[in-house]
């Protein structure tokens, strides 16, 4: 059977299984002098008169040794007065929250007083409200919240209703205004709201630090930390601001427009602008398992759009299914024509042309092909043109630039005349486009048709100009090549398991990687595990320019959460400050020689 010893030495026996609460209730009923309420009253009434009492005397005055197992000490537990004042600052804070719990809950739930309708009934005020809608909105919210919180404080503290109500209203008003500013459409106003939030957070952090062993010294870095995060905002908002600042003054719109014409899924800010700073920002994303997979999927989808764009280019240059048969029929029709004698007299005197004729007539392959072909026919002279092509290729391989130039000049003169006959010009244009496509396909040399590999083909200006010239009959293909050279210049291939493994093996030293990993994880924590995903969504959005513009005009989800936090802090602080100061503060003094005493200090009502 549990036994309870009273301060006067009397022992009480209770049946087995009796709870401490039942024991306490029975003792308070039959021994009122040992009740909690009586103990509080004696402390309240006694004030400084209880100073100097020994710990044992206080224990007799307040304590009843209740039999309890694994009992957790409380900072204001009258059953254990030797523990009074020894609680950590965090426990005292929790105790305070518990003390004012109903008021705090009521302050968070009560809506602001709707004063807009009442004010609008006054003509002069109605005109003023219409002339300054933004100020009116803020003012209504500030006044409405101040009135509602003042009412809560007055209701919970009827003995000091006026003072408590005014105190709560006065504290709520500025915080309510700060919360409104933090959601403003003006980015500078939102910045001011974040700074205000930083000050509030810093103050709370400083208060918490003051209640720790670090004291005031710890409050300084805590306050600065709170102010810093208030000024900078959440990591997601900071990332968005970094992207916007990296785009300032950068030429990115032409690349974005080119990417849209090419049908690419997206082009990131770093790829569109070529700004290394934005490239470093892009390197931060895709670090979480989910984010990495999402980035890989979007990257593969973009690669497919690059491949399709290149294939579309090839089809515009030359489409074998549609144009091969047409080219043959055009050549066949033109071969039935003969060239005028004036053409033979003019062209035949050129020594380079003579050399080409001798090659055709002395080459068994040409001779076999030209059996029965009239030497005045377009077909015969087309063979001379092909011989000139071979001569030009051989001279180019020997790096004989002057010889190559003379051969090409002779070929131009020949083509100028041949293009006047029948459908030869149209046939030759299709043939030239066919060779251009074959040359581009060969340039990939079994490589994947990606934007990066395509740009490697196009980046040399001389080769690019020559390619454009070969497509003079296909302006759509020329424009597409220009777009590719612009959009593919800074393209970043998406990471894969293989490239990630190579990068890990080649990368930075381990300490630097560890620091980057810690910073990224901190960003994830501070953004409620949403930083990586939101950053990926932003950079891979084909309309990121508009999204960034919209974000600069309205509060982000983070800023809205900041505003709610500011509003909540104001309400909680207002209700706490509005309470009458009836707290009993205990503390240990320096022990006197030969004595182990405790001082009790009482703060009465102000």
For residues 249 and 220, the answer to whether their CB atoms sit within 8 Å is no
For residues 205 and 220, the answer to whether their CB atoms sit within 8 Å is no
Q: Which residue has the higher pLDDT, 572 or 148?
A: 148
Alpha carbons 540 and 266: distance in angstroms, whole number: 6
User: Lowest-confidence range among 129-138, 253-262, 274-283, 433-442?
Assistant: 129-138
> What is the phi-psi region of residue 84: left when phi exceeds 0, alpha when psi lies from -120 to 50, beta otherwise?
beta
Alpha carbons 88 and 282: distance in angstroms, whole number: 45
- Three-class secondary structure assignment of 277-337: HHHHHHCCCCCCHHHHHHHHHHHHHHHHHHHHHHHHHHHHHCCHHHHHHHHHHHHHHHHCC
| Bridge partner list, 339 | none
CA angle 134, 140, 145 (to 5 degrees): 130
Confidence at residue 188, expressed as pLDDT on a 0 to 100 scale: 59
Which two tokens mark 224? 């600065």
Alpha carbons 444 and 439: distance in angstroms, whole number: 9
The mean pLDDT value for 182-206 works out to 60
Alpha carbons 421 and 408: distance in angstroms, whole number: 20
Confidence at residue 141, expressed as pLDDT on a 0 to 100 scale: 74
Number of helical (H) and strand (E) elements in the chain, helices listed first:
31, 4
Confidence at residue 399, expressed as pLDDT on a 0 to 100 scale: 66
Confidence at residue 267, expressed as pLDDT on a 0 to 100 scale: 96
Phi, psi of 176 (to 5 degrees): -65, -40
Alpha carbons 185 and 56: distance in angstroms, whole number: 65
DSSP line for 517-566: HHHHHHHHHHTTS-HHHHHHHHHT-TTHHHHHHHHHHS--HHHHHHHHHH
Q: E strand or H helix at 587, and its extent? A: strand 584-587
Q: Which residue has the higher pLDDT, 575 or 82?
A: 575
- How many C-beta neighbours within 10 Å does residue 363 have? 15
Residues 6+ apart with CB under 8 A from 440: 314, 317, 457, 467
Confidence at residue 82, expressed as pLDDT on a 0 to 100 scale: 41
The mean pLDDT value for 377-397 works out to 88
Q: Which residue has the higher pLDDT, 22 or 448?
A: 448
The mean pLDDT value for 510-519 works out to 63
What angle separates helix 235-247 from helix 531-539, to the nearest 10 degrees? Answer: 30
| 3-class DSSP state of 599 | strand
The residue written with tokens 């002279």 in the block is 381
For residues 467 and 481, the answer to whether their CB atoms sit within 8 Å is yes
For residues 167 and 578, the answer to whether their CB atoms sit within 8 Å is yes
For residues 170 and 578, the answer to whether their CB atoms sit within 8 Å is no
The mean pLDDT value for 580-593 works out to 40
Alpha carbons 94 and 413: distance in angstroms, whole number: 97
The mean pLDDT value for 413-436 works out to 92
The mean pLDDT value for 268-285 works out to 93
pLDDT of 6 > 50? The answer is yes
The mean pLDDT value for 420-449 works out to 91
DSSP line for 25-72: HHHHHH-GGGSHHHHHHHHHHHGGGGTT-BHHHHHHHH--B---SSPP
Residue (of 349, 340, 332, 311) closest to 441 by Cα position: 311
Q: Which residue has the higher pLDDT, 227 or 603?
A: 227
| Bridge partner list, 3 | 13
Report which DSSP code applies to 400: -
Confidence at residue 552, expressed as pLDDT on a 0 to 100 scale: 62
For residues 152 and 107, the answer to whether their CB atoms sit within 8 Å is yes
How does pLDDT run across 41-87, given as a tens digit for each residue?
654 554 433 444 444 554 454 455 555 443 444 433 434 444 434 34
Q: E strand or H helix at 82, and its extent? A: none
Burial (CB count <10 Å: 0-12, 13-18, 19+), residue 178: buried
For residues 315 and 282, the answer to whether their CB atoms sit within 8 Å is no
Mean pLDDT (the chain) is 74
Alpha carbons 329 and 319: distance in angstroms, whole number: 15
Counting every residue written for the chain, the total comes to: 606
User: Lowest-confidence range among 4-13, 224-233, 235-244, 442-451?
Assistant: 224-233
Residues 6+ apart with CB under 8 A from 108: 568, 571, 572
Domain positions in the chain: 3-84, 97-239+557-577
Which two tokens mark 373? 């072909």
SS percent in the chain: helix, strand, coil, step 5: 70, 5, 25
What angle separates helix 531-539 from helix 289-317, to the nearest 10 degrees? Answer: 10
Query: pTM for the full model?
Result: 0.57
pLDDT of 454 > 80? The answer is yes
């Amino acid at each position: 059977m549990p036994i309870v010893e009273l301060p006067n030495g009397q022992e009480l026996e209770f049946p087995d299984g009796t709870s401490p609460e039942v024991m306490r209730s029975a003792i308070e009923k039959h021994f009122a002098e040992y009740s909690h309420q009586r103990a509080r009253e004696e402390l309240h009434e006694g004030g400084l008169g209880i100073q100097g009492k020994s710990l044992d005397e206080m224990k007799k005055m307040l304590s009843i040794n209740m039999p309890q197992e694994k009992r957790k000490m409380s900072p204001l537990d009258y059953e254990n007065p030797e523990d009074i004042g020894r609680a950590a600052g965090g426990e005292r804070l929790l105790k305070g929250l518990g003390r004012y719990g109903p008021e705090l809950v009521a302050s968070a739930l009560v809506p602001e007083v709707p004063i807009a309708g009442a004010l609008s009934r006054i003509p002069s005020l109605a005109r003023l409200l219409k002339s300054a809608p933004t100020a009116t909105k803020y003012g209504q919210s500030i006044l409405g919240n101040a009135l509602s919180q003042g009412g809560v404080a007055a209701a919970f503290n009827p003995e000091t209703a006026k003072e408590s109500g005014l105190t709560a209203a006065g504290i709520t008003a500025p915080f309510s205004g700060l919360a409104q500013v933090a959601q403003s459409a003006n980015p500078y106003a939102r910045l001011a709201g974040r700074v205000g939030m930083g000050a509030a957070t810093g103050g709370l952090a400083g208060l918490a630090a003051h209640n720790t062993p670090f004291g005031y010294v710890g409050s300084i870095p805590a306050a600065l930390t709170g102010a810093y995060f208030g000024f900078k905002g959440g990591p997601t908002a900071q990332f968005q601001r970094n992207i916007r600042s990296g785009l300032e003054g950068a030429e990115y719109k032409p690349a974005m427009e080119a990417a849209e014409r090419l049908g690419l899924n997206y082009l990131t800010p770093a790829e569109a602008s070529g700004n290394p700073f934005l490239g470093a920002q892009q390197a931060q994303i895709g670090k979480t398992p989910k984010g990495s997979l999402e980035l890989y999927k979007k990257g593969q989808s973009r690669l497919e759009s690059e491949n399709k764009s290149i294939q579309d280019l090839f089809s515009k240059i030359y489409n074998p299914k549609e144009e091969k048969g047409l080219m043959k029929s055009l050549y066949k029709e033109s071969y039935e024509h003969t060239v005028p004698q004036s053409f033979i007299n003019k062209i035949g005197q050129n020594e380079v042309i003579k050399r080409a004729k001798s090659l055709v007539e002395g080459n068994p392959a040409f001779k076999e092909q030209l059996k029965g072909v009239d030497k005045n026919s377009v077909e015969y002279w087309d063979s001379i043109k092909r011989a000139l092509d071979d001569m030009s290729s051989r001279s180019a391989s020997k790096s004989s630039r002057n010889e190559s130039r003379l051969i090409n000049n002779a070929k131009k003169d020949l083509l100028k005349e041949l293009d006047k006959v029948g459908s030869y010009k149209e046939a030759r244009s299709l043939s030239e486009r066919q060779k251009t496509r074959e040359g581009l396909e060969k340039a990939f040399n079994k490589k994947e048709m990606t934007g990066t590999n395509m740009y490697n083909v196009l980046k040399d200006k001389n080769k690019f100009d020559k390619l454009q010239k070969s497509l003079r009959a296909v302006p759509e293909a020329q424009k597409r090549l220009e777009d590719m050279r612009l959009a593919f210049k800074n393209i970043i291939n998406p990471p894969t398991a293989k490239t990630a493994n190579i990068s890990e093996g080649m990368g930075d030293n381990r300490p630097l990687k560890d620091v980057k990993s810690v910073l990224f994880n901190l960003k994830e924590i501070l953004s409620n595990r949403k930083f990586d995903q939101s950053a990926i969504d932003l950079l891979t959005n084909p309309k990121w320019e508009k999204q960034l513009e919209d974000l600069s005009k309205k509060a982000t989800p983070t800023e809205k959460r900041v505003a709610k936090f500011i509003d909540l802090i104001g309400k909680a602080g207002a209700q706490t400050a509005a309470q009458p100061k009836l707290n009993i503060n205990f503390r240990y003094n320096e022990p006197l020689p030969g004595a182990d005493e405790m001082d009790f200090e009482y703060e009465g009502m102000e």
